[in-house]
Amino acid sequence: MTLDELPVPPPSVAAHPVEIGGLRLANPLLLAPLAGVTIPALRLLYSKLGAGAVHTEMISCAGLLVSERQSRRRNNTGDEGYEIVSPGSKTERMLAVLEGESPVIAQLFAGDAEIMARGAECALGVQSKIVALGINMACPMPKVLKKGAGSKLLERPEVAFDMVRRLVALGLPVWPKIRKCPPTLPLTTEAFCEGLLEAGAATVTVHGRTPAQRYTGEADVSLLPRLATLFPGKVCASGDVFSPERAAEYLNGGCAAVMFARGAIADPFLFPRTLAFLGYEVHNKYRNPSPDFQLSLLLDFGENVCAGSGPRIAVLMVKRLLSGMFKGLPGIGELRRAAAHILSWKELRGILETCEVYFERREEHSGCAS
Ligand SMILES: Cc1cc2nc3c(=O)[nH]c(=O)nc-3n(C[C@H](O)[C@H](O)[C@H](O)COP(=O)(O)O)c2cc1C
């Protein structure tokens, strides 16, 4: 059975629309931007699992402009007649949107408002399906910080606010994502959010860790309801969403939406389980997915990654999701160990297609087989 023949898990936008950050979405559970992870095939998978909207990986505005210049040189067009990104370039692949994806928010990063605005124009020229422009003001990694981008912008509020104003002028909702501001920064998290919203941001996503924490320790979960009270309907939550209960806690605290990041990678079915927990009607196929269904999802996903990003990435991504799938099934450990050393997508696909062997073998060992 193919995915298309299966019942759609979440209610449609028409059935239960929610207004978040200038968008009409089917539900408030969003796939967070994840560099190296939220490629189109993965976004499609999570759209099918119920994500109300999905984010691209963070995309470099400087990179977009380089691609544009190269393309213009190749096409020998003038400044006005730009063709923008060369076919098949990495940037174009990052901006690709597959049929069936939930609304896609393109997340951009830059260290300066002019580059941000020009990069955003390029992105919109390449991809008309983008519904909102995200700005990364959260990334704590040195290679982004040294460009003055990501969470470095928390040290330069005026640049950050200017970026928002410049992108608002392009006509799409603007979705900056920040981190909790420690006392060493010029503004508190509250004041930074206020500045972004005054500049015209449609919503602000806050990850309740400071940049110095990176991904260690715990996110400050209590910060989000405080912000949501100050800015009703304008705050999205990120940080330590590994369970339906945590997502509900953020929403009950007044957050407009919740972003799923590492939790969704560790457990792809976290989306449908959370939707069910929140009271959405979710087909049992998604709440209690059978091994066959999980396998069909994984194979479909692998094929899509292969088509868009190549077989090497397909192997990496499928192995990554495999560790969160088939939870509790006897024999799954053996299957994962067998998959671990595989480098070719064809071989991995073969192992997955015959994976019942692992499950049966385990049953024989445990004496379950008749
Ligand atoms: C591998 C990885 C890549 C990430 N890439 C981005 C990114 O490109 N842009 C961004 O704003 N945040 C990025 N994040 C942060 C997540 O979107 C999220 O805010 C963070 O993981 C906290 O949520 P969690 O604790 O539920 O995982 C990334 C996180 C991880 C683990």
pLDDT of 163-194, one tens digit each? 999 999 999 999 999 999 999 999 999 999 99
The confidence band for 362, taking pLDDT boundaries of 50, 70 and 90, is: low
Ligand 1 centroid from CA 262, angstroms: 7
The confidence band for 2, taking pLDDT boundaries of 50, 70 and 90, is: very low
DSSP conformational letter for 140: -
- Cβ atoms of residues 143 and 63 within 8 Å: no
Question: Does ligand 1 have an atom closer than 6 angstroms to the CB of 263?
Answer: yes
Q: Which protein residue's CA is at the shortest distance from atom 5 of ligand 1? A: 34
Question: Does ligand 1 have an atom closer than 6 angstroms to the CB of 243?
Answer: no
Q: Which residues contact 285 (CB under 8 A, 6 or more apart)?
A: 6, 7, 9, 293
CA proximity to 297, closest of 273, 316, 321, 281: 321
Ligand 1 centroid from CA 35, angstroms: 7
What is the rounded distance in angstroms from the CA atom of residue 330 to the CA atom of residue 369? 13
For the chain, which domains are there? 3-287 (3.20.20.70), 291-365 (1.10.1200.80)
CA proximity to 236, closest of 202, 262, 213: 202
- Cβ atoms of residues 49 and 8 within 8 Å: no
Percent share of the chain, pLDDT over 90: 81
How confident is the model over 25-47, as a mean pLDDT?
97
The confidence band for 230, taking pLDDT boundaries of 50, 70 and 90, is: very high
pLDDT higher at 54 or 359: 54
Question: Does ligand 1 have an atom closer than 6 angstroms to the CB of 246?
Answer: no
Ligand 1 centroid from CA 106, angstroms: 14
Q: Which amino acid is at 360?
A: E
Question: Does ligand 1 have an atom closer than 6 angstroms to the CB of 16?
Answer: no
For a pocket test of ligand 1, which of 42, 262, 270 has the largest count of ligand atoms closer than 8 A to its C-beta?
262
Ligand 1 centroid from CA 33, angstroms: 6
- Cβ atoms of residues 42 and 101 within 8 Å: no
- Closest ligand 1 atom to residue 137 Cα is 11
Does residue 80 surpass a pLDDT of 50?
A: no
- Cβ atoms of residues 105 and 124 within 8 Å: no
pLDDT at 365: 54
How confident is the model over 266-293, as a mean pLDDT?
94
- Cβ atoms of residues 95 and 59 within 8 Å: yes
pLDDT at 367: 46
For residue 230, give both structure tokens.
């100050």
Q: Which amino acid is at 164?
A: V
- Cβ atoms of residues 73 and 122 within 8 Å: no
Q: Which protein residue's CA is at the shortest distance from atom 2 of ligand 1? A: 34
pLDDT at 19: 97
SS3 for 239?
coil
Q: Which protein residue's CA is at the shortest distance from atom 9 of ligand 1? A: 33
pLDDT at 252: 97
pLDDT at 280: 93
Ligand 1 centroid from CA 178, angstroms: 11
